[in-house]
Structure 1
């Protein structure tokens, strides 16, 4: 595949979890609609940021893409190959190319295994090396992520949170994948450590030609690392655009509310700007409201929002949004594309280690 070609294509992906009741015979009384018809595309060498409130389905979407949990319906194509419906054996070769960095750097590492085993076992299992060559590869990976060769025989409890996340990154790189799904890789870390991990991931992306699906709550971090951003709400993608376009002129009211909560370094500007405070709680994914799922909290909702579900439409320059009352439409339409293909995207600079991201 050449740089910029579609690597991951997700079409109408659905993952529902049944709600069962009964003492003798279980019967289905409802469904939790964790992922409810998500479509997205990730290109070779690109970073796609995925944002949204807790419980909107981001982690479930990541696991469904990797087939760690079987989707209810929909399609996941990786490098042109369909993954949904494949057996575990048939998925083996593909999984070498798709790895995951988990959110919790403490729970994602087996406390009974040494670091050398945690990183080296996948290399041996997939027949990429054996014996002394495995140890050499693991020590090389530890060096790449900023650790030392002497850490090979240590246990996870001997490391800090940032060091554990570096170990998780080394494990993800062990099989030389094309795609890494990073499920909130910096949310459990201190601010200065977050900057170090983000800078490391950017360096590794340039070195290994990786594609990232980067899930995070910190919109500042997402803006820095992403070429494009997709916004999820209650199991659906409600907006998707080039990162620069979305941050300058968000179309969906939910995206406007999220961005209004991002702190601005200038205290005067931060105090003077208008904050959008959403009222009410996120509806239950087991009983989503009809029409637009966001209408129960949207300040611009009208009667049509309670009846008709809006389609994901292009509002100019590939800026997609699902809303009956889009905001900043004129501004979004007037914007010229700023992301382009990964080969011509903006030059990224490291986050200063003293910066909050």
Structure 2
């Protein structure tokens, strides 16, 4: 682990058991939410994580936070293996890593005042006197764009955007090094989303924060992220700097996601040929053999159903798990179905997608 890496996730899996029986329960299957995820987050950067619902983004966030125990694998924070920490050591660790939750309505206790909600982390960790905590909370409310006089109000007296600002203030209370933001703007209006994103960027520069930012919206991720990880059915499909990934995606799944993003310019939008994926996301209880994306992939060949492609470097800092990556971007729907090269030299085969016909 290099000194500039703050968080390292190494070959992490998380399987949720499915049991039968009332008195004598036994496991009959498991939901494979994460299956061999490895990535690193550098100090001061924002790593965006995107993918369809059910791909494992939120599960990964909760494993990083130790809200869920990994089935296997290692999570290292600031050089220390946190998957082996005792409950006592874990409390100290939680000062360094905080979380912003998706729903600003459900993540705040409706029976507690804002002052208590934001100061609770300070009280749990025994930081400061009552007067110092109150002053700290009022300062934080001002930092996130709220009036310090809101200290005595209840959450129901605020709008959705204001509630998310309260959640951000709570996350900042103990001066963490890393903040995991699990879809923090998905429940907000577009205009409020922009305010929260700009606030997060300003706070990152002011406090030297590192973010793991989870979202569905590719436009939101592009605005805030330095690097982007694309997940599909519990595995990483692509990992690259944000500018490179949006300019030249290499994985067909990433290409399909980007082709669905609306374009503000009508002239460019009319000339674009979007590609719509066929079929549904496979069942995580029984994922496909080989590449998990191959049943829906327009470029899949026989090799894809037999072997799971590793995450390999396709350009400087740009990794993709695909035997038949995209050669250029943008591509038409027909070009998406015709891989020009294969991973094994001299081994060209007819694409499976050609036999299927258009999706």
> Would you call these one fold, judging by a TM-score over 0.5?
yes
> Is 1:52 aligned with 2:51?
yes
Write the mapping of 1:129-168 to structure 2, written as runs, cut at 5 A.
Answer: 129-168=128-167
2:123 aligns with: 124
CA distance in 2, matches of 1:272, 1:299: 21
Cα offset for 1:127? Answer: 1.6
Over 6 Å off, 4+ runs: none
- Structure 1 counterpart SS, 2:32: strand
Checking the alignment, whether the CA contact within 8 Å between 1:315 and 1:329 is kept in structure 2 is: no
Cα offset for 1:85? Answer: 2.2
1:223 aligns with: 222
Cα shift readout 1:220-247 (whole Å, capped 9, x = no counterpart): 1111111100000000011000111100
2:257 aligns with: 258
1:8 aligns with: 7
Write the mapping of 1:1-357 to structure 2, written as runs, cut at 5 A.
Answer: 5-328=4-327
CA distance in 2, matches of 1:101, 1:121: 15
Cα offset for 1:130? Answer: 1.7
Checking the alignment, whether the CA contact within 8 Å between 2:247 and 2:329 is kept in structure 1 is: no
Cα offset for 1:187? Answer: 0.3
Aligned length: 330
CA distance in 2, matches of 1:217, 1:49: 10
Cα shift readout 1:180-236 (whole Å, capped 9, x = no counterpart): 000000000000000000000000000000000000111111111111000000000
Unaligned runs of 5+ in 2: 331-359
CA distance in 1, matches of 2:119, 2:149: 15
CA distance in 2, matches of 1:285, 1:88: 31
1:354 aligns with: none
CA distance in 1, matches of 2:47, 2:76: 16
Checking the alignment, whether the CA contact within 8 Å between 1:45 and 1:209 is kept in structure 2 is: yes
1:352 aligns with: none
Checking the alignment, whether the CA contact within 8 Å between 2:115 and 2:134 is kept in structure 1 is: yes
Q: What TM-score comes out, normalization by structure 2 length? A: 0.90
- Structure 2 counterpart SS, 1:165: helix
Cα offset for 1:329? Answer: 6.6
- Structure 2 counterpart SS, 1:109: coil
Cα offset for 1:330? Answer: 10
2:354 aligns with: none
The RMSD of aligned alpha carbons is 1.5
Checking the alignment, whether the CA contact within 8 Å between 2:248 and 2:329 is kept in structure 1 is: no
- Structure 2 counterpart SS, 1:315: strand
CA distance in 2, matches of 1:317, 1:307: 28
- Structure 1 counterpart SS, 2:171: helix
CA distance in 1, matches of 2:81, 2:292: 30
Unaligned runs of 5+ in 1: 332-357
Cα offset for 1:321? Answer: 0.4
Q: What TM-score comes out, normalization by structure 1 length? A: 0.90
Cα offset for 1:324? Answer: 1.1
Checking the alignment, whether the CA contact within 8 Å between 1:120 and 1:174 is kept in structure 2 is: yes
Classify 1:183/1:27 alpha carbon distance in 2 versus 1 (closer, same or farther; 3 Å).
same
